[in-house]
Amino acid sequence: MNDPLGSLHPALVDAAPRVLWLDDPQRPEASDRLEGTTTADLVVVGGGYTGLWTALLAKQRDPEREVVILEAGTCGWQASGRNGGFVSASLTHGFANGQERWPEELAQLDRLGHDNLSAIEETIRAFDIDCGWERTGELDVATRPHEVAELRSHAEALQRAGHDVEWLDREAVQALVASPTYLAGMWNRHGVAMVEPARLAWGLRRACLERGI
């Protein structure tokens, strides 16, 4: 039988085909399967971020509302628990893309995106969710000479639009990350946070269960 790992780089030979975030010894036990018939005022299908947040907000708005979440697997086991752990304020997949597609609405979209990022942070604090949340910002770097001017132009456009970004020349970016390939950088101080994705889902699940969902 062919070795499925035979074509991998030697450094990956001992790697396990598991998701880092989900392979956590502190992961919660799965709930019992739903058997029989139940009734509810609101049924939410899917226990990812969207479903968990929808159920939680619905219960907060009306504590008497009976809310049920239906999930075929376990909460956060799909995309919500398998992403890279970067939470961006951008609703337009980047400022440049928003500027090209929705220039007239971009200011409002940017404001809503930052409000959304802050609301996520407030929820995490309010429900004491242990998910490694850090408002680190984001560092974009130039690694080729022609990219320096392009990145600087992008930084200036963001600054004109009111974004808190800092331009870093070679010396400044090297002081942050000592890589010989980094020629310049742009630090977006407040537009990105880091999070442990699965733990965020599990924390939202706990908050739901504690409120009778």
Q: How far apart are CA 74 and CA 125, in angstroms?
A: 24
Alpha helices in 15-101 (DSSP H): 49-61, 79-82, 95-101
Q: For position 1, what pLDDT does the model report?
A: 41
Q: How far apart are CA 132 and CA 195, in angstroms?
A: 5
Nearest of 30, 59, 32, 52 to residue 200 by alpha carbon: 52
Q: For position 4, what pLDDT does the model report?
A: 56
Report mean pLDDT in 10-residue bins for the chain, 213 residues: 63 85 92 92 97 97 97 94 94 94 95 96 96 95 96 94 94 94 94 96 97 96
19-40 burial, b if ≥16 CB within 10 A, otherwise e? eebbeeeebbeeeeeeeeeeee
For 27, residues 6+ apart whose C-beta sits below 8 A from its C-beta are 198, 202
Phi/psi class of residue 137: alpha, beta or left (left: φ > 0; alpha: ψ in -120 to 50)? left
Q: Quick one: 166 exposed, middle or buried, by C-beta within 10 A (0-12, 13-18, 19+)?
A: middle
How many residues are given for the chain? 213
Q: For position 6, what pLDDT does the model report?
A: 57
Q: Is the pTM of this model over 0.75?
A: yes
Q: For position 2, what pLDDT does the model report?
A: 55
Q: For position 113, what pLDDT does the model report?
A: 96
